[in-house]
Structure 1
Amino acid sequence: MKILFSPSESKNENCTDKPFDKDSFIFKELFDYRMQALNSFFDYIKNTSIEDLKEFFGIKDEKEIKKFIQNLHNQPTKKAVELYNGVSYEYLDFNTLDKKAKDYIYKNTLIFSNLFGVV
């Protein structure tokens, strides 16, 4: 059985794992397509005004926009189930689970990223 989970709007900003690579994702054969999407995303961001980015992200605070325009290729990461912190993730309360439960979730949960697809 696979568990399908959607991302949340908010994320844990305390990422300490290595930057992502091909082995960071499920469906490794999609890695090149993910990089194409990421590169297109950053091309858009580099060529878009702050005012248009505020509208694009639905954020009014310019300081918040800066979180979204970082080069993700070099940023520290975190497993998706630990990264998001919306309502469903709060109810899951992943960090309180024992090792067996965490391993089950790692193997059987598919989380959908708006940028990378299923992770």
Structure 2
Amino acid sequence: MIKILFSPSEGKNSGGKEAKNELFGAQNARDEILQEYNKIVQSGDEESIKELFGFKKMSDCEPYIEDIFSSDLMCAIERYSGVAYDYLDISSLDKAQREYLKQNTIIFSNLYGPILGGDAIANYKVKQGSSIGEIALDKFYRDRFSYQLDLYLNSCEILDLRAGYYDKFYKINKPYTTLKFLKDGKSVSHWAKAYRGLVLRELAKNNISSMEEFMTLEIETLQVKEIKVIKNKREIVYNIV
């Protein structure tokens, strides 16, 4: 089976009615992070809260100031908003397609670390690159989850659609595939998010279960230019047409 590694988003959808479920990996591995996050959020220390959330105004922080352990929960793949998730447009997919995303997408959350698309999470806020208290998130999750991810992905094919920043959370130790998008011969950066979301949508719509199937998939506006192999990474380069 194919597993897709994906980035989170700064934007979130509020609310949620999901029941609490066991998150990916060892259940106590992220407790320290969640407790430290909650302590800051509940502290009343406006400067610490604004720094954690990445806001300049306390009024912008208010929607996120709640006990994360009793917050409303929503599946991760539905919680996130932003460019990639706008192009994924999960609300327009049918039940089987949404289930595909919940089972086969691994999202690298800035708070929760690696989680499955179907894992139920709170509406949180952590600025990308921030630490939580004295805890550096990338190192924390790399140390605690790399072995578990190696085991989980051992018999799977991997399509890595993460933004480069999230390579710090987990280094893939087996053959995998990434995508690069070119417009007029130049690599796109911000809009790469949109095309990653578009590709993830097509994977779900077509119930893609292997890289062999993916390689035959025709995606509107994308045309394969070349395929590069460097060590254990295969990079498919697309022209945006």
Q: Do they fold alike, i.e. is TM over 0.5?
A: yes
Q: CA deviation at 1:71?
A: 0.8
Task: Give structure 1 regions of 4+ aligned residues with deviation exceeding 3 angstroms.
Answer: 44-48
Q: Which residue in 1 is equivalent to 2:3?
A: 2
Give matches, 1:1-119, under 5 Å.
1-18=2-19, 20=20, 23-27=21-25, 29=26, 31-47=27-43, 49-119=45-115
Structure 1 residue runs without a partner (length 5+): none
Distance in 1 of aligned mates of 2:86 and 2:40: 33
Q: Secondary structure of the equivalent of 1:43?
A: helix
Distance in 2 of aligned mates of 1:98 and 1:45: 36
Distance in 2 of aligned mates of 1:76 and 1:56: 20
Identity of aligned residues (%): 35
Highest Rg: 1 or 2?
2
CA RMSD of aligned residues (A): 1.8
CA gap 1:87/1:60 in 2 versus in 1, 3 angstroms = same
Structure ranking higher on relative contact order (CA contacts 8 Å, 6+ apart): 1
**Larger helix percent:** 1
Distance in 1 of aligned mates of 2:12 and 2:111: 14
TM-score relative to the length of structure 2: 0.44
Structure 2 residue runs without a partner (length 5+): 116-241
Q: Secondary structure of the equivalent of 1:9?
A: coil
Structure 1 window deviating more from structure 2 (94-103 vs 106-115): it is: 94-103
Q: CA deviation at 1:47?
A: 4.6
Letter in 1 for 2:46: I
**Larger strand percent:** 2
